[in-house]
A and B are shown apart, each in its own frame.
Chain A
Amino acid sequence: MTAPLHFQSIAELSTKIAAGQLSAVELTQSIIARTKAIEPRVHAFNSFDEADALSQAAASDARRSAGQSAGLLDGIPVGLKDVIAVAGQPLTASSKMLANFVSPYDATVTQKLQRAGAVLHGRLNCDEFAMGSSTENSAFGPTSNPWDLTRTPGGSSGGSAAALAAGAAVATLGSDTGGSIRQPAALCGLVGLKPTYGLISRYGLIAYASSLDQIGPFARTVEDAAIMLGAIAGHDPRDSTSFKTAIPDYRAELKTRRGPWKLGIPKEYFGAGLDPEVGAAVEKAIAFYRSQGCEIREVSLPHTQYCLDTYYIIATAEASSNLARYDGIRYGHRTSSAKNLLDVYQKSRAEGFGDEVKRRIILGTYVLSSGYYDAYYLRAQKVRTLIRQDFLNAYREVDALITPTSPIPAFKIGEKSADPLAMYLCDIYTIGVNLAGLPALSLPCGFTQSGLPIGLQLIGQPFREADLLATAHAYEQVHGWNTQFPSL
């Protein structure tokens, strides 16, 4: 039995489009109809522009009839997290601060997707300025997990995950600073890839923590993730931190790169706090790889215990600086009750930012302040080097690491929102990867007894996404987790 159109993969849909069995307009109409049907329950979108999406789809069909199809993504509806700029579309970061902001320019990934013919559909909800792990910090209200509407989809890219899981897009982009793609992918039963820092241009991505942020895809399958990654990867002269490296054909490489791989199990990632059902599912996945002839070896990442502290110093320091530009002077929210310049700053920011954003700005300002810099920021940078070194040491013995993505499956909306520290613990398995700048992906590895998806994290070596995807693909080929869909 084939899945309904809105649950099919890029690979399947592009074959139909290429064969003339489906037009981009038909597909887009179907996705928009699905969007309208689920949106009142899921709230994955901050906005979507139906007319714009349909006109992009019509242009795609016109290209195809003229024999000028741009490839697999031509005509495929792709949703973008509302932190990625599209000229003429709102760019809010799910913040009251930017509630009325319309971007006059395109992000580099936006241009790349447009060149690939993708139909850009919707501005996807997220935690405000990508700060959070549940999408509850959105100024426009939380997003629900399509597998259980009382639960969060994770975050910060919760809208990107929920829209895809609910069939309101064929693929989406999110951004990952401490796990913001992988954790929602795990909680929504999707493939989510956080590429190596520097593989994807950050130009046009609203900065949260510049040295950690990376754009990446959500997809139904590893193959789709490979297609999406191929479309957006590559050096960009507008981003000095983007790396000059050859971009392989990730999709083709899925078939050519075969194991067995040497896989490392970091012992620090299986301790207290790990949900037993999640732990069991990950153990089963490890057993699968072993059964395929992979050598499984326990490794140690001894500085893991410092990851959370290090992250919350570096990320908040950078955030406090990156968010200084939202001042009510040139664009964005400006208070209506200012009597002087200081009022403009203080009131605009007090009114425009939510609590979690304020918390991080205050923390970041503190750690950079005169007299505290050496003790916090400088020390955190040193620890960051040690954390990266831990991973590189492990890679002398193994090709990749296997861990759970999130210690727990999807949690209830409201369950952790009053306790920031409990929320921060959701990211303990994902944060180290950002600090080390490594690629990592989450892929579905089962369900809890109550039917919530569980995610497996594979962590790879710098700029070796092709190997990482092939490792994930080998698992996915014999496990049908992604053929199950939420019933809504």
Chain B
Amino acid sequence: MNYEAVIGLEVHVQIKTHSKVFTRVGAGFGHEPNTLTDPVVLALPGTLPVMNKAALDAIIKAGLMLGCDIAPVCKWDRKQYFYPDSPKNYQISQYDQPICLGGSVEIELPGAARNVMGEHKKIALTRIHLEEDVGKLNHHATDSLVDYNRAGTPLMEIVSEPVMHTAEEAFAYLTSIRNTMIYGGISDCDMEKGQLRCDANISIRPVGETKLGTKVELKNLNSISYVRDGIAHEIKRQLAVVAAGGKLIQETRDYDGVAGTSQSLRSKEMAHDYRYFPDPDLMPVHVDEAWKAELRRACPELHFDKQRRLIAEYQVPYTITSVLIPDRELSDFFEATAQLAGKGRAQAIGNWIANDLLRELGAAKVPLSASKISPANLAALIQLLDAGALLNAAAKEVFTTMFATGDAPAAIVARLGLAAAPTDTGELEAWCRESIAANAKALAEFKSGKESAINAFKGSIMKAAKGKANPKLVDETLRRILAE
């Protein structure tokens, strides 16, 4: 019998806000333990939550970007369970009335080759809701320590319908969510910092069957590749159980990405009863049309729309766009440069970005926004090259200096003496005449119509010019003399 897998993902995205979701203390990563706390975060007796509007703005914006229906009222519920990372022993969340309903995530599956765009499809969403993140436990040999810095960070949970069938689709889905959140300025989605987390619900069923099979929840998928590998592993595990005549049980399993194995955490019988009920400390918030309209205006172009537009408008190859698109800043940089240098130079700009800029950024370990490079400087560099005022080899050096200093390329060229071609054309003409005189054979071949013979004269000219001759000018000068 042939089986198919059915996958639904629950993705948690930390929202990038200055302060926490229900109090004013700052939110952030990498601080000394328990420094981002206050009486509310620590759930001291008598404290009360107050909603941070910026977090609600962010989730509504995310919902609008993904085509969700936005609920007219944002209502809060308490999800109750005891664990030391949860200071109140309940988490403020949204149960029966999530702020965002429906919507979908456009995904791109791998193409036939690296330079071929893959199939696109839409993965339907069930809901997106807002909740507060919990703290973090650090386990030691004989005790565990808890750090509440993360507790109370705004967190959105994006729940897909069970409509994916392969690990590749799940991978593409998560990638697309990450790009969407980065484009919206909603989250940096750094999985290493826990800003993007994913649990997968996986089942298998005979092809043709419409009912869902027994669901296994896979947790601890801590990187995008673990998501792909973990799901692939789980599908294989379930197929093997069924093939061996076994029966799947509803359970939660923990994936170990390093070992590539999973183990059962708890079965259905051990499932929590969260005793959800409306949080009496928080008033429902009404979301009116004006509020939504304002956020809709703040929604950026979606990443796949931008990719399609770059290809159509700038005629850049798919491969270049697939480098540019995942990084909104990078793709904005590309467009800004193309506005200055001309759409016709888009491919050259794309190459500079994909090769040189990314290399420099990687080496300097800085994001584009923190670097000194500007679209104006890259456009000016490309114009110098086009004008023949700079050679490719020298241009690479100019670029590196430009990246490091932020200086205009012309200034760098002048400072480092990298300008192409002698300014004295009399000197160049003399070198050309000397070279023609010294290459009788090539002269004869050229005269008899062998066009490429002209290259034989250039080597000694370049040598005489110590590499700084403008090749275009050399070529023109040679042809003028040869035509005499």
Question: What is the interface of chain A, defined by CB distance below 8 A to chain B?
Answer: 83-85, 91, 93, 98, 101, 103-105, 107, 202-207, 209-211, 237-241, 317-318, 320-321, 324-327, 329-331, 341, 345, 365, 368-370, 373, 377
Question: Given A370-B275, A373-B277, are A105 and B48 also a contact pair (CB < 8 Å)?
Answer: no
Say yes or no: is B212 at the interface (Cβ < 8 Å to chain A).
Answer: no
Determine if A202 and B275 form an interchain contact, defined as CB atoms under 8 angstroms apart: no
Say yes or no: is B116 at the interface (Cβ < 8 Å to chain A).
Answer: no
Determine if A91 and B80 form an interchain contact, defined as CB atoms under 8 angstroms apart: no
Determine if B50 and A237 form an interchain contact, defined as CB atoms under 8 angstroms apart: yes
Say yes or no: is B88 at the interface (Cβ < 8 Å to chain A).
Answer: yes
Question: Given A104-B39, A211-B280, A324-B82, are A240 and B50 also a contact pair (CB < 8 Å)?
Answer: yes
Specify which chain A residues have a CB less than 8 angstroms from the CB of B51 in the assembled complex.
240
Per-residue CB proximity of B60-103 to A under 8 Å, as 1/0? 00000000000000000010101010011110000000000000
Question: Given A210-B280, A210-B281, A369-B275, are A240 and B46 also a contact pair (CB < 8 Å)?
Answer: no
With most chain A CB atoms within 10 A of its CB, the pick from B46, B87, B88 is: B46
Determine if B48 and A103 form an interchain contact, defined as CB atoms under 8 angstroms apart: no
Chain A residue with minimal CB distance to B45?
A206
Say yes or no: is B451 at the interface (Cβ < 8 Å to chain A).
Answer: no
Specify which chain A residues have a CB less than 8 angstroms from the CB of B89 in the assembled complex.
324-325, 327
Main secondary structure of the interface of A (DSSP, over half): loop
List 13 other contacts, CB 8 Å, given A93-B45, A98-B45.
A83-B46, A105-B44, A203-B46, A206-B46, A240-B282, A317-B277, A324-B88, A325-B43, A325-B87, A325-B88, A326-B45, A368-B80, A368-B275
Say yes or no: is B146 at the interface (Cβ < 8 Å to chain A).
Answer: yes
Chain B residue with minimal CB distance to A105?
B39
Say yes or no: is B267 at the interface (Cβ < 8 Å to chain A).
Answer: no
- 4 closest cross-chain pairs (CB), A and B: A324-B89, A211-B280, A210-B280, A368-B275
Chain A residue with minimal CB distance to B285?
A240
Which residues B188-228 have CB closer than 8 A to chain A?
Answer: none
- Minimum CB–CB distance from A77 to chain B (whole Å) comes to 22
Determine if B275 and A241 form an interchain contact, defined as CB atoms under 8 angstroms apart: no
Specify which chain B residues have a CB less than 8 angstroms from the CB of A205 in the assembled complex.
46
Determine if A241 and B283 form an interchain contact, defined as CB atoms under 8 angstroms apart: yes
- Minimum CB–CB distance from A99 to chain B (whole Å) comes to 13
Say yes or no: is B49 at the interface (Cβ < 8 Å to chain A).
Answer: yes
Say yes or no: is B42 at the interface (Cβ < 8 Å to chain A).
Answer: yes
Whole-angstrom distance between the alpha carbons of A6 and B477 in the complex? Answer: 112
- Can you report 15 A-B residue pairs in the complex whose CB atoms are below 8 A from each other? A91-B45, A93-B45, A101-B45, A103-B45, A104-B39, A240-B48, A241-B283, A321-B80, A321-B277, A324-B90, A331-B44, A368-B80, A368-B275, A368-B277, A369-B273
Determine if A103 and B146 form an interchain contact, defined as CB atoms under 8 angstroms apart: no
Say yes or no: is B47 at the interface (Cβ < 8 Å to chain A).
Answer: yes
- Minimum CB–CB distance from B227 to chain A (whole Å) comes to 29
- Minimum CB–CB distance from A247 to chain B (whole Å) comes to 20
Which residues B19-70 have CB closer than 8 A to chain A?
Answer: 39, 42-51
Whole-angstrom distance between the alpha carbons of A432 and B39 in the complex? Answer: 33
A101, A203, A318: the one contacting B280 at CB < 8 Å is A318
- Minimum CB–CB distance from B33 to chain A (whole Å) comes to 13
- Minimum CB–CB distance from A94 to chain B (whole Å) comes to 12
- Minimum CB–CB distance from B370 to chain A (whole Å) comes to 36
- Minimum CB–CB distance from A195 to chain B (whole Å) comes to 17
Whole-angstrom distance between the alpha carbons of A49 and B312 in the complex? Answer: 77
B43, B47, B80: the one contacting A203 at CB < 8 Å is B47
Specify which chain B residues have a CB less than 8 angstroms from the CB of A105 in the assembled complex.
39, 44, 47
Whole-angstrom distance between the alpha carbons of A446 and B92 in the complex? Answer: 48
Question: Given A321-B90, A341-B84, A365-B275, are A241 and B44 also a contact pair (CB < 8 Å)?
Answer: no
Specify which chain B residues have a CB less than 8 angstroms from the CB of A85 in the assembled complex.
44-46
Whole-angstrom distance between the alpha carbons of A369 and B49 in the complex? Answer: 24
- Minimum CB–CB distance from B274 to chain A (whole Å) comes to 8
Specify which chain B residues have a CB less than 8 angstroms from the CB of A202 in the assembled complex.
46, 48
Specify which chain A residues have a CB less than 8 angstroms from the CB of B88 in the assembled complex.
324-325
Whole-angstrom distance between the alpha carbons of A238 and B82 in the complex? Answer: 26
Question: Given A203-B47, A341-B84, are A370 and B273 also a contact pair (CB < 8 Å)?
Answer: yes
Chain A residue with minimal CB distance to B146?
A329
Question: Given A321-B277, A370-B273, are A327 and B82 also a contact pair (CB < 8 Å)?
Answer: yes
Whole-angstrom distance between the alpha carbons of A240 and B46 in the complex? Answer: 14
A211, A321, A327: the one contacting B78 at CB < 8 Å is A321
Question: Given A93-B45, A203-B48, are A241 and B82 also a contact pair (CB < 8 Å)?
Answer: no
Whole-angstrom distance between the alpha carbons of A369 and B274 in the complex? Answer: 8
